[in-house]
Chains A and B, each alone.
Chain A
Amino acid sequence: MPDQQPNKPNGVPDDANTELSSAFPQTPTLGAMEVEGMLEKEDLTHSPDQPTESVAVADREVPRSLWQDAWRELRRNPIFIISGILIIFLIIVAFFPSLFDSTSPLECDLSKSQQGPTSGHPFGFDTQGCDVYARTVYGARASITVGVFATLGTALLGTVLGGLAGFFGGWLDAIISRIADIFFGIPILLGGLVFLSVIPSRSIWIVVAFIVVLGWPQLARIARGAVITARQQDYVTAARALGAGNSRLMLRHILPNSLAPIIVVATIALGTYISLEATLSYLGVGLKPPTVSWGIDISAAADTFRLAPHMLLFPAGALCVTILAFIMLGDAVRDALDPKLR
């Protein structure tokens, strides 16, 4: 039920959806075998006033769809609420860093090199004499951009390739699976060291592209498995028997029912991609100045860590909180979408 999908992979709770679900927690839906096209949000809001079903049906507990159930679960989960608020805050920081800081991260004064926190500069200065607070605030953008776009990229590529492999099977499956194995066979940090040192430009997009190239097999495996499971379900056989074509089967029946594990893995991967970007930058093959990135700053601060720990601890703290927020979100989503663990 795609229109009931409660949360987007980037973790922004959809307010309209919240309203709807909370207003009608017991709203009857048409279940997994719904007549297509009928399941519009507008329909749902009306259905309680339309007791067209027999009385006996009206008074029973109506089974909710997986997505509604998951959304209900999420709203009650404090971890989801905390991580959601954190992520919204981080996204605002990433988009509008100037709201939080008046100085520029590139405006540095060597005379203040490595000075500790003072008034107006709560995080102190780094070796170049740049304001650490400003650099921490502006560093959010790189991390979150890499995390979100790398996740979208791997999820898209992985779902398409893994989905095709699972749906068609046979030689297509064999080829895609082997290609996935090939990229899976390259340990990601090792690959980063080699691949990224080849490429002179180190824009955010190069790092995103690298993560997508080495990260998609993980999602493809999940998607392939989920599609194979979904394909064997009776309702897919039924739809096929009723003459549904391949594309219709895939988009209408199989995709919505395979999305849950993909979303779960992708959300958790988001946090690890942010960590990966920082590690690559630390190794000197990730982002490069003038991009402001926590990884670069931590790397630069590492040599003088014993003398001026504040230079490392503030960006590292920001980095950890960001990763923590996304991993917590992933955890909450998994708990909500994986009924086995409930």
Chain B
Amino acid sequence: MGIEATEVTADHGRGRTADSEDAPLLQVRDLQVEFRTRDGVAKAVNGVNYSVRAGETLAILGESGSGKSVSSQAVMGILDSPPGFVTGGEIVFKGQDLLKLSNEQRRKIRGTQMAMIFQDALSSLNPVHTVGTQLGEMYRVHRGTSKKDAKVKAIELMERVGIPAAKERVNQYPHQFSGGMRQRIMIAMALALEPDLIIADEPTTALDVTVQAQVMELLADLQREYNMGLILITHDLGVVADVADKIAVMYAGRIVETAPVHELYKRPAHPYTRGLLDSIPRLDQKGQELYAIKGLPPNLLRIPSGCAFNPRCPMAQEICRSEVPPLHAVTEPDGAPIEGRGSACHFWKETIHG
């Protein structure tokens, strides 16, 4: 994946002037991550490019093992290392390449300027500390707040994310909260120091459907209020539609399609994306057999040659087995560019325009 990919994905509005005001909050360029295991080297992320602006929501969509979580862990600097290693690329956050910073410098950015929300709040919160302690820890460590003030702040935070009876519940332990409330606490923790960027890794997957909507709404509200950049990692197309501004679809460690959110739903330019969309049950297709992408995601130790999706692709040709498709800029049939769209498919034209 070369330079042209960067051009398409990274700069949503390439036409705009690149003054500092308009520079993206986060820009990931050609990121490479691999896991060195005893069975071999698993290439989890193979040259990923994306950017997020303040107030913007980028959804990264993909199956498990597509590299969506790994790439965001690399951005946060919390990759399990070993076995995980960032082997190339740049992560430019507010003008500086995070990969060039010392561990201590990166630590100071974590929690204060960028924060992360994890999928399973029950296991992600420490079971032996009260939620008040865990929330207050943010202020105590990064701001040197006193224990008493930290608790007051913790209560404020809990109220902010809509936890009733915060004053009483601040001394309770994570297992005493419901799943939705726990996820709100995770959000509160990420929000504590008003970071510029929040990465939410499947924030609603573990929740009931009704609670999912509430939590997503809360997240979106807070994002607007604080004008934060938000990276939403998910495998669920339904979650994305209402919240995201743009979507990057990942497959086998690469971004295979990138598009503004409604463009993507309307006319996907990659067979994988189309497969994902077709496998959503729809009322107007009642009685028909539901489509499913055949096969399973590839083993990262042995990524298929050429386009990684080719063994599962209904449109695969000889070229798909031999050549890795670059991220082509997607255009209208008449050649007019579509802003922010790219597809890593040799047959993107056929896919989008039939």
A–B direct contact (CB < 8 Å): yes
Q: Mark B281-319, 1 if CB is under 8 A from A, else 0.
A: 000000000000011101101100000000110000000
Residue of A nearest to B300 (CB): A61
- Cβ–Cβ contact B296 & A60, under 8 A: yes
16 contacts between A and B (CB under 8 A): A54-B294, A56-B294, A56-B295, A56-B296, A56-B311, A56-B312, A57-B295, A57-B296, A59-B311, A60-B295, A60-B296, A60-B298, A60-B299, A61-B299, A61-B301, A61-B302
B: interface residue count bin: under 10
Q: Closest approach, in angstroms, between the C-beta of A72 and any C-beta of chain B? A: 10
> Interface residues of B: mostly helix, strand, loop or mixed?
loop
Residue of A nearest to B299 (CB): A61
> Interface residues of A: mostly helix, strand, loop or mixed?
loop
Q: Closest approach, in angstroms, between the C-beta of A71 and any C-beta of chain B? A: 16
- The size of the chain A interface, using a CB distance under 8 A, is 6
B302 cross-chain contacts in A, Cβ below 8 A: 61
Which B residues are within 8 Å of any A CB, using their own CB?
294-296, 298-299, 301-302, 311-312
A59 cross-chain contacts in B, Cβ below 8 A: 311
The 9 closest A-B CB pairs, nearest first, are A56-B295, A61-B299, A60-B296, A56-B294, A59-B311, A56-B312, A60-B299, A56-B311, A60-B295
B294 cross-chain contacts in A, Cβ below 8 A: 54, 56
A60 cross-chain contacts in B, Cβ below 8 A: 295-296, 298-299
Q: Closest approach, in angstroms, between the C-beta of B298 and any C-beta of chain A? A: 8
A118, B189: Cα distance in complex, Å: 75
13 new A-B contacts at CB < 8 Å, known A56-B294, A60-B299: A56-B295, A56-B296, A56-B311, A56-B312, A57-B295, A57-B296, A59-B311, A60-B295, A60-B296, A60-B298, A61-B299, A61-B301, A61-B302
A61 cross-chain contacts in B, Cβ below 8 A: 299, 301-302
Residue of A nearest to B302 (CB): A61
Residue of B nearest to A54 (CB): B294
B296 cross-chain contacts in A, Cβ below 8 A: 56-57, 60
A54 cross-chain contacts in B, Cβ below 8 A: 294
Q: Mark A60-78, 1 if CB is under 8 A from B, else 0.
A: 1100000000000000000
Q: Closest approach, in angstroms, between the C-beta of A73 and any C-beta of chain B? A: 10
A57, B312: Cα distance in complex, Å: 11
Q: Closest approach, in angstroms, between the C-beta of B131 and any C-beta of chain A? A: 26
Q: Closest approach, in angstroms, between the C-beta of B161 and any C-beta of chain A? A: 32
Q: Closest approach, in angstroms, between the C-beta of A69 and any C-beta of chain B? A: 11
